[in-house]
Structure 1
Amino acid sequence: MPSRNTFGDLVVLEEQLKEKCGVIGVWCAEKIASLYIRKGLSALQHRGQESAGISIYTPENKIQTYKGMGLIPNVLTTDVIHQLGESKVAIGHNRYSTTGSSTACNAQPITLTKGKFQISIGHNGNIPEYQHLLEQLEEKSKEECSSDTYLVAQLLLQERPKYSDWDETLKNVLPRIRGAFCFVILTSDGAMYGARDTYGIRPFCLGKASNGWIIASESVAVDLTGAEFLRDVKPGEVVKINFDGELSSFFFGEPKRPQNCIFEYIYFSRPDSFENGIRVRNGREASGKLLAKRILKKGIKADVVIPVFDSGYPAAKGVAVELGLPLIDAITVSHYIGRTFIQPGQENRMAAVNGKHNIVPDEIFNKRVIVVDDSAVRLTTSKRLCLGLKDAGAEEVYMVFASPPVVNHCDLGIDMKSKKELPASNWASEHLEVIEKNVAELMSANGVVYLPIEDIAMAMERTKEDFYHYPFGGPHPIRGQQYEFPKMKKKITSQAKIAVLISGSGTNLQEIIDRVDNGDIEAKIVLVIANNERAYGLERARKHNIPTSVLPYEGKVNDQEKRKEYDRLLLDLIKKIDVDIIVLAGWIFVLGDEFLSKVSQKEIPVLNLHPALLTTNLKDTIASSRGIIPVMRGQQAIKDAFGRRLLVSGVTVHQILPKNNFDIGPVILKEEVRIRSNDTLETFEKRIHEAEHRILPTAIKRLIHVMKAGIDVSKGDFYW
Structure 2
Amino acid sequence: MLSTNPFDDDKLREECGVFGVWNADVAASFVALGLHALQHRGQEAAGITSLDGAGFHSHRAQGHVAGNFDRDETIRALPGRTALGHVRYSTTGSSALRNVQPLFAELADGGFAIAHNGNISNAMKLRRTLNRRGSIFQSTSDTEVIIHLVATSPQSKMLDRIVDALHQVEGAYSLLMLTEQGLIACRDPLGIRPLVMGRIGDTIIFASETVALDVIGARYEREVAPGEMIVVNADGVRSFRPFAAAAPRPCIFEHVYFSRPDSVVDGISVYESRKNIGAVLAEESGIEADIVVPVPDSGVPAAIGYAQASGIPFELGIIRSHYVGRTFIQPSQEVRHLGVKLKHNANSALIKGKRIVLIDDSIVRGTTSVKIVQMMRDAGAREVHMRIASPPTRHSCFYGVDTPERAKLLAAQMDVEAMAKYINADSLAFISIEGLYRALGDQRSAQQPQRCDACFTGDYPTRLTDLTDKKAEEAGLMLKAVV
Band the TM-score falls in, shorter-chain normalisation: 0.7 to 0.9
Residue of structure 2 equivalent to 1:172: 164
1:328-384 per-position Cα deviation (integer Å, ceiling 9, x unaligned): 1111224466899xxxxxxxxx99966542222110100000010111112232210
Change (3 A) 1:217 1:419: same
The one-letter amino acid paired with 1:180 is A
2:270 to 275, 280, 302: 280
Residue of structure 2 equivalent to 1:479: 463
1:87 aligns with 2:80: yes
Structure 2 counterpart SS, 1:393: coil
Change (3 A) 1:410 1:228: same
CA contact (8 A) 1:436 1:447 kept: no
CA contact (8 A) 1:197 1:237 kept: yes
The whole-number CA distance in structure 1 between the counterparts of 2:75 and 2:258 is 32
Residue of structure 2 equivalent to 1:54: 48
The whole-number CA distance in structure 1 between the counterparts of 2:353 and 2:306 is 21
Change (3 A) 1:190 1:254: closer
1:268 to 245, 258, 261: 258
The whole-number CA distance in structure 2 between the counterparts of 1:278 and 1:239 is 23
Cα distance, 1:164 vs structure 2: 3.3
Residue of structure 2 equivalent to 1:389: 376
Structure 2 counterpart SS, 1:378: coil
The whole-number CA distance in structure 1 between the counterparts of 2:108 and 2:198 is 34
Structure 1 counterpart SS, 2:397: coil
More displaced 10-residue stretch of structure 1: 31-40 or 108-117? 108-117
What TM-score results when the alignment is normalised by the length of structure 1?
0.59
The whole-number CA distance in structure 1 between the counterparts of 2:60 and 2:323 is 21
CA contact (8 A) 1:119 1:157 kept: no
Residue of structure 1 equivalent to 2:207: 216
Q: Give the unaligned 5+ runs of structure 1.
A: 1-16, 341-349, 428-434, 481-720
Residue of structure 2 equivalent to 1:307: 294
Change (3 A) 1:477 1:108: same
Q: Give the unaligned 5+ runs of structure 2.
A: 1-11, 328-336, 465-483
1:199-236 per-position Cα deviation (integer Å, ceiling 9, x unaligned): 10011101011140101100111111111001111111
1:236 aligns with 2:216: no
1:375-402 per-position Cα deviation (integer Å, ceiling 9, x unaligned): 1112232210101110110011011111
Cα distance, 1:140 vs structure 2: 2.7
1:27 to 22, 26, 45: 22
Residue of structure 1 equivalent to 2:96: 103
Cα distance, 1:171 vs structure 2: 2.1
The one-letter amino acid paired with 1:467 is R
Change (3 A) 1:205 1:67: same
The whole-number CA distance in structure 2 between the counterparts of 1:269 and 1:400 is 20
1:367 to 327, 348, 354: 354
The whole-number CA distance in structure 2 between the counterparts of 1:245 and 1:223 is 26
What pairs with 1:552-567 in structure 2 (closer than 5 Å)?
none
Residue of structure 2 equivalent to 1:683: none
Change (3 A) 1:57 1:309: same
Structure 2 counterpart SS, 1:467: coil
The one-letter amino acid paired with 2:17 is G
Bigger relative contact order (CA 8 A; separation at least 6): 2
The whole-number CA distance in structure 1 between the counterparts of 2:38 and 2:113 is 20
What pairs with 1:432-447 in structure 2 (closer than 5 Å)?
435-447=415-427
1:70-90 per-position Cα deviation (integer Å, ceiling 9, x unaligned): 111111132344432531100
1:320 to 297, 303, 307: 307
Q: Percent identity?
A: 37
Residue of structure 1 equivalent to 2:240: 250
The one-letter amino acid paired with 1:273 is S
1:453 to 398, 423, 433: 433
The whole-number CA distance in structure 2 between the counterparts of 1:264 and 1:43 is 16
Cα distance, 1:132 vs structure 2: 2.8
Change (3 A) 1:319 1:204: same
The one-letter amino acid paired with 1:183 is L
The whole-number CA distance in structure 2 between the counterparts of 1:135 and 1:250 is 30
1:629-666 per-position Cα deviation (integer Å, ceiling 9, x unaligned): xxxxxxxxxxxxxxxxxxxxxxxxxxxxxxxxxxxxxx
Q: How many residues align?
A: 438
What pairs with 1:53-202 in structure 2 (closer than 5 Å)?
53-60=47-54, 62-137=55-130, 138-141=133-136, 143=138, 145-159=139-153, 162-187=154-179, 189-202=180-193
Structure 1 counterpart SS, 2:61: strand
Structure 1 counterpart SS, 2:247: coil
The whole-number CA distance in structure 1 between the counterparts of 2:149 and 2:339 is 37
CA contact (8 A) 1:136 1:155 kept: no
What TM-score results when the alignment is normalised by the length of structure 2?
0.86
CA contact (8 A) 1:337 1:352 kept: no
The whole-number CA distance in structure 1 between the counterparts of 2:209 and 2:80 is 23
1:416-470 per-position Cα deviation (integer Å, ceiling 9, x unaligned): 131111011014xxxxxxx221111010000101001111111111233111111
1:291-335 per-position Cα deviation (integer Å, ceiling 9, x unaligned): 111223xxx210000011222111100110111111111112244
User: In terms of Rg, which structure is larger?
Assistant: 1
The whole-number CA distance in structure 1 between the counterparts of 2:67 and 2:275 is 34
1:379 aligns with 2:366: yes
The whole-number CA distance in structure 2 between the counterparts of 1:182 and 1:133 is 19
CA contact (8 A) 1:133 1:152 kept: no
CA contact (8 A) 1:19 1:125 kept: no
Cα distance, 1:190 vs structure 2: 4.7
Residue of structure 2 equivalent to 1:43: 37
The whole-number CA distance in structure 2 between the counterparts of 1:234 and 1:199 is 9
The one-letter amino acid paired with 2:452 is Y
The whole-number CA distance in structure 1 between the counterparts of 2:358 and 2:66 is 33
Change (3 A) 1:261 1:445: same
The whole-number CA distance in structure 1 between the counterparts of 2:291 and 2:43 is 33
CA contact (8 A) 2:135 2:148 kept: no
CA contact (8 A) 1:171 1:251 kept: no
Change (3 A) 1:336 1:69: farther
Structure 2 counterpart SS, 1:466: coil
The whole-number CA distance in structure 2 between the counterparts of 1:353 and 1:239 is 46
Change (3 A) 1:223 1:338: farther
Residue of structure 2 equivalent to 1:513: none
The one-letter amino acid paired with 2:141 is S
Aligned-residue RMSD, C-alpha: 2.1
The one-letter amino acid paired with 2:166 is L
CA contact (8 A) 1:236 1:253 kept: yes
Residue of structure 2 equivalent to 1:467: 451
The whole-number CA distance in structure 2 between the counterparts of 1:307 and 1:212 is 40
1:227 aligns with 2:192: no
The one-letter amino acid paired with 2:215 is L
The one-letter amino acid paired with 1:417 is P
Residue of structure 1 equivalent to 2:391: 404
What pairs with 1:536-551 in structure 2 (closer than 5 Å)?
none
Change (3 A) 1:179 1:305: same
Cα distance, 1:127 vs structure 2: 1.1
The whole-number CA distance in structure 2 between the counterparts of 1:150 and 1:337 is 36
The one-letter amino acid paired with 2:125 is H
CA contact (8 A) 2:28 2:75 kept: no
